[in-house]
Amino acid sequence: MNIAILGFGTVGSGIYEILKNNKEAIAKRVGEEITVKYILDIRDFSSHEDAHLFTNDYNVILNDSSVDVVAEVIGGVEPSMTFTREALAAGKHVVTSNKELVATHGDELFKIANENGKAYLFEAAVGGGIPLIRPLYNCLAANNIKKIIGVLNGTTNYILTEMITKGRDFDSALKSAQENGYAERDPSADIEGKDTARKISILTSLLYGSRVDCRHIETEGITNITMEDVKYAEAAGCDIKLIGYGELENSKVFARVSPMFISKHSPISCAMGVYNAVLANGDSVGNVLFYGQGAGKLPTASAVLGDIIDIARHKNVSMSWNSENSDSYLSDEDVKTGAFVRIAESSDISFSEKYPSAISLEAHTSSEKAYIIPSMTESEFKKLSCIKKIRCENNFKPSIG
Amino acid sequence: MNIAILGFGTVGSGIYEILKNNKEAIAKRVGEEITVKYILDIRDFSSHEDAHLFTNDYNVILNDSSVDVVAEVIGGVEPSMTFTREALAAGKHVVTSNKELVATHGDELFKIANENGKAYLFEAAVGGGIPLIRPLYNCLAANNIKKIIGVLNGTTNYILTEMITKGRDFDSALKSAQENGYAERDPSADIEGKDTARKISILTSLLYGSRVDCRHIETEGITNITMEDVKYAEAAGCDIKLIGYGELENSKVFARVSPMFISKHSPISCAMGVYNAVLANGDSVGNVLFYGQGAGKLPTASAVLGDIIDIARHKNVSMSWNSENSDSYLSDEDVKTGAFVRIAESSDISFSEKYPSAISLEAHTSSEKAYIIPSMTESEFKKLSCIKKIRCENNFKPSIG
């Protein structure tokens, strides 16, 4: 089977490298060789050992009927969208790691793929190398997945882990992430939660069957998390993590991105540093966790190749969702959350009356009080007036020690 | 699509229940209804609300060409083997939760399935509801999986968790497992490691491509684990877990079942109580973990239904391995392991000379000494003469605190 790689960046060169190193083992498993016939990149690779594979003319690929699968690993919406549409129309399967494109135009592309009898697969778009899309869509298909809690962004998890384990403040931890290549020079898409929003959009869309638009996903990043918050979390037996959260109930869906207190006893707390983890709760299977490297050259390329191998083996693979169904969102009144709050000491009295179930944490300064409130509505949480508020799981009970 | 359930025990009734409760949701996802047409059981279910589905004559099912898939959830080798062979020969797909049959006769049944153009699928045979077989076989197919470490038996993990968290000795913990329905009256297959051996046999066979016979799997259970050992593990920053271990290297394979010291920092340590977890290390993806309920009515039925839904969606699904390739096993000289050892104080001098890298643990009695030796061969480990020895991961460094 012949493939073309669009974009010879991190992921594209990873695909090339794995196919080169594991060519025979993969051929043995699949029953045929997977061969890179073209690599599309506008840069000059004339001194590359496989220079003859490179082209900057996409039409060469489109017009070659021996190319069965196109791996779009350019990222961003354009030219990826046009390239993908053209490849599907030319009767080629497309696999991708492009979370932005899948989150924003997945439904259109699934439709075009379906009309052409081809696959548009995206295992690598969420959780990097972690098998996630296929297990959720296939293995757990007998379940109604009710809840999904994901650490989906390695950059922010690295920053938070540095703050938690090394006592570094946010700015210093971000700098360390940049120095180690875990954060971009402009880290805003990561630290403001946009990357996580795209990923939870994909997961909830897949489980819900209709597009969950990022514009409906309340998105808060980690830029306001301080060492004070990290210490309060520690005192409550928790770590702070940036969580992509999804809930499905009575044919309605809810998705949110925000920092959350996560108990150290939760299996999801095993995701430290750049690792990702996703916990799904199904009505039959209960809690299931998937954990691994959510980014990086070879892990992401491994997932793209998993899609390519699936096409080689099974031809008629598909996983998809429909266009958005606009009245299908749970309202802020229907969703419950736990809350950590820091309030000024003076505002204490009315607060305790309003939330008699609030659990007091030892305050770090004399001018404030800190509480965990096990459960309230999203709507109440948003209206809370306080120094700082961070969500916890609903019905959260801190292990104070 | 019509299915027949063979055996209306725990798993069989779970399949029936999920299909009843989630019928519409599943039909929406799959594109067609999945209908139970027969349930085979020799017991009397004449007062069951769906009594008309029950039969004790397997020929009725074999001769009904409208039955597409047979779910064999009887367990054991016979009559499951005969039933499976007959169903495949009659042109029906077979899905199963029967680890014993898959581990011992999987290769023959894959061959028969292949000859008849049908699937023989077994997602439920390892790790209960956890998506495991498909992610390893499909999503990670571009990887050479080098190592697999699995907590694969809920009964033994429950017993060890009771010992670790409640300080109960083995007998008392086993009794608690029996009282809570987590251990059978005759618990030998679980506590002696046979169940785990079948499961690691299936996982390594799948990854290796040839049958790894249980007879080649060194199998040690947990019956010799004492509270002393648990305390030493604690002091080394570890829990003791019964581990199904597999290693693949240079076209050779190794599998073993034994108790191991597992660091509390390892993601696999998140598996407590009846939960299972499997950590796989691939050459591209790095470490990936799968976690969830490894047994139980609905989780296991969820996995069986995942296989049925995959057949409904994709028709030509297959995953298999070949008959055993007898010279393909790594020898005990080629496999490395870490070791925890308790030795009599008198034997100390020669021991320290032989293992200068040994790390001393504080002894619990004056008559013995205890060490962690980071690395030795399997062969050396087996020859160690001491009061007690328990394996650790190779190159293990204890966090002594």
Contact B143 A209 (CB under 8 A): no
B292 at the A interface (CB within 8 A)? yes
Same domain, A310 and A289: no
Contact B129 A285 (CB under 8 A): yes
Helices (H) and strands (E) in chain A, counts: 14, 16
Helix B297-314 × helix B23-30 angle, to 10°:
30
B225 vs chain A: nearest CA distance in angstroms? 25
Residue A399 lies in a domain: no
Tokens (6 digits) for B48: 């069951």
Tokens (6 digits) for A312: 């080689």
**For residues B329-343, average pLDDT:** 95
Same domain, A91 and A147: no
Task: Say if residue B128 is exposed, middle or buried (CB neighbours under 10 Å; 0-12, 13-18, 19+).
Answer: buried
Is the pLDDT at B15 greater than 80, yes or no?
A: yes
Tokens (6 digits) for A263: 């108990």
More confident residue, B335 or A346: B335
A319 at the B interface (CB within 8 A)? no
In angstroms, rounded to a whole number, what is the distance separating the alpha carbons of residues A178 and A30? 39
Contact A138 B135 (CB under 8 A): no
Residues spanned by the domain of B378: 336-392
Paired strand residues for B94 = B70, B120
ipTM, 2 dp: 0.95
CB-closest option in A131, A267, A301 to B140: A131
**For residues A360-381, average pLDDT:** 93
Same domain, B139 and B108: no
User: Which residue, A89, A90, A91, A94, is CA-closest to A106?
Assistant: A94
Chain B stretch 56-115, residues whose beta carbon is closer than 8 A to a beta carbon of chain A: none
Tell me which DSSP letter residue B323 carries. S
B306 at the A interface (CB within 8 A)? yes
For a pLDDT cut of 70, what percent of chain B falls above it? Answer: 99
B14 at the A interface (CB within 8 A)? yes
Closest chain B residue by Cα to residue A268: B270
Q: CB–CB of A380/A322 below 8 Å?
A: no
Same domain, A265 and A343: no
Is the pLDDT at B27 greater than 60, yes or no?
A: yes
Helix%, strand%, coil% for chain B, nearest 5: 40, 25, 35
Q: CB–CB of B332/B382 below 8 Å?
A: yes
Q: CB–CB of B304/B191 below 8 Å?
A: no
pLDDT of residue A348: 62
B20 at the A interface (CB within 8 A)? no
User: Which residue, A154, A118, A150, A121, is CA-closest to A137?
Assistant: A121
pLDDT of residue A325: 76
In angstroms, rounded to a whole number, what is the distance separating the alpha carbons of residues A70 and A50? 18
In angstroms, rounded to a whole number, what is the distance separating the alpha carbons of residues B66 and B3? 9
Contacts of B134 in chain A (CB under 8 A): 131, 134-135, 138-139
B165 at the A interface (CB within 8 A)? no
Give me the torsion for CA of A174, A180, A181, A185, rounded to 10°: 40
Same domain, B167 and B282: yes
Question: Residues of A186-225 as b/e, b for ≥16 C-beta within 10 angstroms?
Answer: ebebbbbbbbbbbbbbbbbbbbbbbbbbbebbebbbbbeb
In angstroms, rounded to a whole number, what is the distance separating the alpha carbons of residues B308 and B118? 12
Residue B320 lies in a domain: no
pLDDT of residue A352: 77
Cα–Cα separations (whole angstroms), residue B256 to B193, B264, B391: 10, 21, 11
pLDDT of residue A384: 92
Residue A401 lies in a domain: no
Query: How far is residue B6 CA from its own chain's centroid?
Result: 22
Cα–Cα separations (whole angstroms), residue A235 to A102, A361, B68: 39, 7, 56
pLDDT of residue A349: 67
Residue type, B10: T
Contacts of A122 in chain B (CB under 8 A): none
Q: Tell me which H or E stretch contains B259.
A: strand B252-263
- Give the best residue of B148, B285, B308, B325 to mutate against chain A (max A CB count within 10 A): B285
B270 at the A interface (CB within 8 A)? yes
pLDDT of residue B354: 86
A137 vs chain B: nearest CA distance in angstroms? 9
Same domain, A209 and A81: no
**Omega into B79 within 30° of 0, i.e. cis?**
yes
In angstroms, rounded to a whole number, what is the distance separating the alpha carbons of residues B180 and B188? 17
The pLDDT confidence band at residue A345, using thresholds 50, 70 and 90, is confident
Q: CB–CB of B60/B78 below 8 Å?
A: no
Tokens (6 digits) for B125: 């045979």
Mean pLDDT of chain A: 95
Q: CB–CB of B84/B4 below 8 Å?
A: no
| Tens digits of residue pLDDT in B269-281 | 999 999 999 999 9
Same domain, B102 and B177: no
Residue A319 lies in a domain: no
pLDDT of residue B348: 62
Is the pLDDT at B324 greater than 90, yes or no?
A: no
B316 at the A interface (CB within 8 A)? yes
| Tens digits of residue pLDDT in A285-330 | 999 999 999 999 999 999 999 999 999 998 778 889 998 776 799 9
In angstroms, rounded to a whole number, what is the distance separating the alpha carbons of residues B25 and B41? 28
Contact B209 A29 (CB under 8 A): yes
Q: Length of chain B in residues, anyone? A: 401
Same domain, B154 and B282: yes
**Omega into B398 within 30° of 0, i.e. cis?**
no
Q: What are phi and psi of A88, to 5 degrees?
A: -60, -45
B98 vs chain A: nearest CA distance in angstroms? 17
In angstroms, rounded to a whole number, what is the distance separating the alpha carbons of residues B62 and B66? 10
The pLDDT confidence band at residue A398, using thresholds 50, 70 and 90, is confident
Listed residues A227, A262, A293: the one ending a domain: A293
Pairing assessment for the beta strands A2-6 and A359-361 based on DSSP bridges: unpaired
User: Which residue, B117, B389, B336, B41, is CA-closest to B226?
Assistant: B389
pTM confidence score: 0.95
Contact A289 B302 (CB under 8 A): no
Which among A92, A199, A241, A369 is annotated as catalytic?
A199
| Tens digits of residue pLDDT in A184-200 | 999 999 999 999 999 99
Closest chain A residue by Cα to residue B129: A285
B33 vs chain A: nearest CA distance in angstroms? 12
In angstroms, rounded to a whole number, what is the distance separating the alpha carbons of residues B246 and B253? 7
The pLDDT confidence band at residue B263, using thresholds 50, 70 and 90, is very high
Chain position carrying tokens 């009559």: B79
Is the pLDDT at B4 greater than 80, yes or no?
A: yes
- Residue A132 gets the label, from left (phi > 0), alpha (psi -120 to 50) or beta, of alpha
Is the pLDDT at A401 greater than 80, yes or no?
A: no
Q: Where are the alpha helices (DSSP H) in A223-373?
A: 227-235, 297-314, 348-354
CB-closest option in B138, B288, B303 to A291: B288
pLDDT of residue B330: 94
Residue B111 lies in a domain: yes
Contacts of B143 in chain A (CB under 8 A): 22, 302
Q: CB–CB of B140/B285 below 8 Å?
A: yes
Same domain, B123 and B144: no
Contact B138 A140 (CB under 8 A): no
A253 vs chain B: nearest CA distance in angstroms? 15
Contacts of B37 (CB under 8 A, 6+ apart): B2, B3, B4, B53, B64, B66, B67
Tell me which DSSP letter residue B268 carries. G
Q: CB–CB of A230/A162 below 8 Å?
A: no
Pairing assessment for the beta strands A67-72 and B35-40 based on DSSP bridges: unpaired
Closest chain B residue by Cα to residue A276: B288
Residue A323 lies in a domain: no
B161 vs chain A: nearest CA distance in angstroms? 14
Is the pLDDT at A350 greater than 80, yes or no?
A: no
CB pairs A-B closer than 8 Å: 190
> CATH number for the domain including B34?
3.40.50.720
Contact A306 B141 (CB under 8 A): yes
Same domain, A287 and A309: no
Residue A113 lies in a domain: yes
The pLDDT confidence band at residue B22, using thresholds 50, 70 and 90, is very high
Which among B118, B199, B241, B369 is annotated as catalytic?
B199
pLDDT of residue B317: 84
Contact A302 B142 (CB under 8 A): yes
| Tens digits of residue pLDDT in A30-47 | 999 999 999 999 999 999
Residue type, B256: R
Residue B322 lies in a domain: no
A286 at the B interface (CB within 8 A)? yes
CB-closest option in A283, A301, A314 to B314: A314
User: Which residue, A381, A399, A398, is CA-closest to A390?
Assistant: A381
Residue type, A240: I
> CATH number for the domain including B264?
3.30.360.10
CB-closest option in A139, A290, A302 to B303: A139
The secondary structure of A145-174 as a DSSP string is EEEEEEE--HHHHHHHHHHHHH---HHHHH
Chain B stretch 40-59, residues whose beta carbon is closer than 8 A to a beta carbon of chain A: none
**For residues B133-161, average pLDDT:** 97
The secondary structure of B106-137 as a DSSP string is HHHHHHHHHHTT--EE-GGGSSTTS--HHIII
Contacts of B313 in chain A (CB under 8 A): 138
Contacts of A27 (CB under 8 A, 6+ apart): A33, A34
pLDDT of residue B352: 77
Contact B123 A131 (CB under 8 A): no
pLDDT of residue B121: 97
Same domain, B12 and B100: yes
Closest chain B residue by Cα to residue A287: B292
A292 at the B interface (CB within 8 A)? yes
User: Which residue, A170, A247, A220, is CA-closest to A389?
Assistant: A220
Q: CB–CB of B278/B130 below 8 Å?
A: yes
More confident residue, B327 or B306: B306
pLDDT of residue B353: 84
User: How many folded domains does chain B comprise?
Assistant: 3
Contacts of A252 (CB under 8 A, 6+ apart): A328, A329, A330, A334
Contact A285 B305 (CB under 8 A): no
Closest chain A residue by Cα to residue B264: A270
Listed residues B279, B314, B349: the one ending a domain: B314
Contact B301 A142 (CB under 8 A): yes
| Tens digits of residue pLDDT in A55-102 | 999 999 999 999 999 999 999 999 999 999 999 999 999 999 999 999
Is the pLDDT at A115 greater than 80, yes or no?
A: yes
Instruction: Tell me, yes or no, if A354 is annotated catalytic.
Output: no
Contacts of A204 (CB under 8 A, 6+ apart): A148, A212, A246, A248, A253, A255
Same domain, A120 and A223: no
For a pLDDT cut of 70, what percent of chain A falls above it? Answer: 99
Chain B stretch 329-348, residues whose beta carbon is closer than 8 A to a beta carbon of chain A: none
User: Which residue, B7, B11, B8, B5, is CA-closest to B296?
Assistant: B11
Listed residues B283, B314, B345: the one ending a domain: B314
**For residues B383-398, average pLDDT:** 94
| Tens digits of residue pLDDT in A222-281 | 999 999 999 999 999 999 999 999 999 988 999 999 999 999 999 999 999 999 999 999
B134 at the A interface (CB within 8 A)? yes
